[in-house]
Every structure is written in C-alpha cells, then in structure tokens.
C-alpha cells in the first residue's frame, strides 16, 4: 500500500468499499456486487442460478446481483483479504475501465425486466442497485464534463457557462461541489482511520486527483461497452515492490 500515492488511494478506496459500503448494502438488503476474491458459495445454489456469465467482464459483480435476483441473500463476513494494489497508472486505468464497463453490462442485463426485478428486490433495493451499479460509472463520466466546465469558467468566464448556470443552479452546484466532495474526502479519512492507516492521511486529502483517473477509466469503459463489450483487458500483477520477481 505504500509503493506510491496510487496504491495509497487504492488502499483507502478498498477500505470504503469492503469496510463500509458492502456491509451497509447487506444490512439494507440491497444486491451486493461481489469482489473477485474470498467468495464462498453453496454449490447447489451456484449451479441453480447459472454460475458465471462468461460474457460479462465483471462476472463476480453480475453473479452477486443474480443471487439477489434469484431471491437469495449475500452476507459480508467481518474478515480481510489482502490484494495487491495496482502500482501503475496505465495498468490501473485498464483494470478500472473493465470494472466500470462490467458494472454497466450488469445493470443493462438485469434491467431487461425492470418490473420483475422491482418486485423481487423491493423499491429501495432496486433504487440502490441502480444508483450503485449504473450510477458509479456514469457519475464518474459526468464528473469530467463538470470539471472541464469549471476550468472553462475560471479561464475566461464565457457567457455560455453563465447561461447554463443561472443564480439558483449556480449556488446549488457550488454547495454540491463543496459539501459533496468534502463528504467523499471525509469518507476516505474515516476508512483509513478505522483500518489503522493514519500514515495515509496525506493521500486521503489529495484524493480528488484519484477521481480524475476514475473519470478517464469510466469514459473508456463506456466507450468500450458500445464498441467492444466483452473485451477483457488484462491487468498485470506482480508489479509492486513487495512482489518484484513474481508473476500472477
């Protein structure tokens, strides 16, 4: 986790995801997108629901939703599995764009029958499923657009931007910028504190730069789902200082 600032961001990212978000989804009975490691299944149930989708590039997340779609529940164990943090930015973008693309694939597949899914999951779980699985990559794409608009306004305050953001919308957007982004930074600080990683506090405060990488990956993933939806971009492992000389 201390190879570089990217691995520090990755560590806090995982802390939020596995330490807070997924357990919260379990309590709220929302579908849980599985991670790629440390999953334990009942074999008969796995066979019954059709095992993995070989065309989905985040087959683990899709399977987690399919478990809920079939009327079963997933529990999150109070445990930790170590995973190599991606040390290279280009490699990270390849990995994260595949995850984003797979999330959109999963949402599109399960929303083929939205009313049926609504009845199985219930209104709140259906909404959480949509906000997380579709919202995560789409919001990351939209972030890039809004950052560019902000830079455009700082550079020259063109009238077209002022027309897009009249008074009420401008001030609501400013509140969202300050308090929304502040809340996410606060989540990073909470995650590293709860995981006993106070040594990562500086990187947690610099996490907006990480969001730029997320936007790049999301835009790439959305483009690929349009032109090459089942293409699996390989992620190279064994690149961290502690894993030099190994291959995975």
Question: For the segment 80-100, what is each residue's pLDDT rounded down to a tens digit?
Answer: 888 888 899 999 999 999 999
Q: Is 71 left (phi over 0), alpha (psi -120 to 50) or beta?
A: left
Of 185, 183, 192, 241, residue with least CA distance to 209:
185
pLDDT-derived band at 243 (thresholds 50, 70, 90) equals low
* pTM, rounded to two decimals: 0.90
Contact 189, 65 (CB under 8 A): no
């Amino acid at each position: 986790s201390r190879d570089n600032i990217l691995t520090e961001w990755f560590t806090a990212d995982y802390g939020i995801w596995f330490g807070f978000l997924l357990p919260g989804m379990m309590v709220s009975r929302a579908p849980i997108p599985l991670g790629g490691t440390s999953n334990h299944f009942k074999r008969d149930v796995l066979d019954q629901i059709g095992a993995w989708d070989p065309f989905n590039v985040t087959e683990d997340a899709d399977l987690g939703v399919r478990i809920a779609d079939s009327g079963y529940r997933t529990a999150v164990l109070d445990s930790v599995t170590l995973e190599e943090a991606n040390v290279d930015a280009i490699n990270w973008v390849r990995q994260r764009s595949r995850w984003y693309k797979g999330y959109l694939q999963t949402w599109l597949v399960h929303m083929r029958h939205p009313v049926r899914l609504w009845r199985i999951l219930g209104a709140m779980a259906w909404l959480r499923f949509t906000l997380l699985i579709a919202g995560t990559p789409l919001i990351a794409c939209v972030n890039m657009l809004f950052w560019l608009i902000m830079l455009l306004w700082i550079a020259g305050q063109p009238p077209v931007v002022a027309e897009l953001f009249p008074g009420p919308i401008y001030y609501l957007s400013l509140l969202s910028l300050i308090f929304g982004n502040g809340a996410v930074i606060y989540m990073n600080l909470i995650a590293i504190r709860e995981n006993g990683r106070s040594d990562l506090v500086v990187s947690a405060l610099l996490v907006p730069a990480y969001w730029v990488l997320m936007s790049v990956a999301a835009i790439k993933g959305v483009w690929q789902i349009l032109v090459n939806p089942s293409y699996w971009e390989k992620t190279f492992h064994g690149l961290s200082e502690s894993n030099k000389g190994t291959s995975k």
